[in-house]
A = this chain, B = another copy of it.
Amino acid sequence: MRLGTVLHQGRPRLAVAVDDGLAVLPGAAPDGRDFTMQAVIDGWPATRPALEVACEGASPVAVDTLHWLPPLPRPGKVLCVALNNSANKDRIMRGPSHPAAFVKPASSLIGHGQPIRLREHFGRVHPEPELAVVIGRTGSDIAHEAALAHVFGYTIINDLTAPTMRGEDTFHYRAIHPKRDDPETIEYVDSWVSYPGRYKGSDSFGPMGPWIATRDAIPDPHDLAVRCVHQGRLVTEDNTANLFYKVADVIAFMSTYMTLEAGDIIAMGTALKQSNGGQAVQNVDLTRFGGPIEVSISGIGTLSNPVERRA
């Protein structure tokens, strides 16, 4: 089953995929209220039969005529795994031997078809096509073998990144540490630190959707083709098999530090294998070249967004 969220007659409504081009908007839930994605997730799989009944008789609508919201408009957190592609390995001189992550704010998310809004002074902004996991069951200290049972489904995120801002928001500084041989006093340690608030979290930097494919619809999350197309030109042609840390690795590791809540999103890291065209995602400067920018993942769908340049 594939589910999304649209704005319909001024209200967020659940949408259910009929096929790649058609959707139905189910009627009300048995309690009389609209189905919301969070409520469907919280009650899954018990919510499924009622949802199926509510779809019967609803008229299909063309996907591209709907106003799409992010499938979960306000997730508790969007945790993004960094540098998680096997192709990165030989360009990392020093890094952790586990997944590293940052948080993107919910206010950065936009739906399929909604404009990415960029300003000249943002500098370069490039796409990052990614598989995203939707957590279905809250947990911490989740065992590796139980990890996939915590997944509700999978969606697509375009984890837009502004490398110009990243450079600006990187500090080279003397960090204060306790002195090694006298921990009651301090010493200074030459360090680098970078802060992703702006370069990953600006408004519209998180196109997501249109669909969440439920877990049963994706037999293997590490056998999915990922394509990124800019203005009709294929930029990336990768596969989730190339993710270095797998979905279960990330859930097991991160959940020993932070509770993963139902409705949380985990962006798994950039698919960056270049297509034969020879360009990298880093060459696609959306501030300069505009859109549309499109990310497709097999079995989930296609996320496409125009670019709007604003003052």
Interface residues of A (CB under 8 A from B): 74, 76-77, 79-80, 82-83, 88, 91-96, 98, 100-108, 119, 124, 140, 163, 166, 168-178, 183-186, 188, 191-198, 201-203, 254, 256-259, 261, 264, 278-280, 282-283, 285
Contacts and interface: CB of A to CB of B under 8 A. Distances in A.
Number of copies: 2
Contact of A171 (B95, B184, B282): B95
Chain A contact residues: helix, strand, loop or mixed: mixed
Given A196-B196, A285-B178, A108 B258 contact: yes
B171 A100 contact: yes
Given A79-B197, A98-B168, 11 more contacts: A93-B172, A94-B170, A94-B171, A94-B172, A100-B168, A102-B103, A103-B196, A184-B279, A197-B254, A197-B258, A198-B254
A96 B183 CA distance: 31
Contacts of A103: 102-105, 196-197, 201
B177 A91 contact: no
Contact of A203 (B83, B203, B257, B279): B257
A167 to B, nearest CB: 8
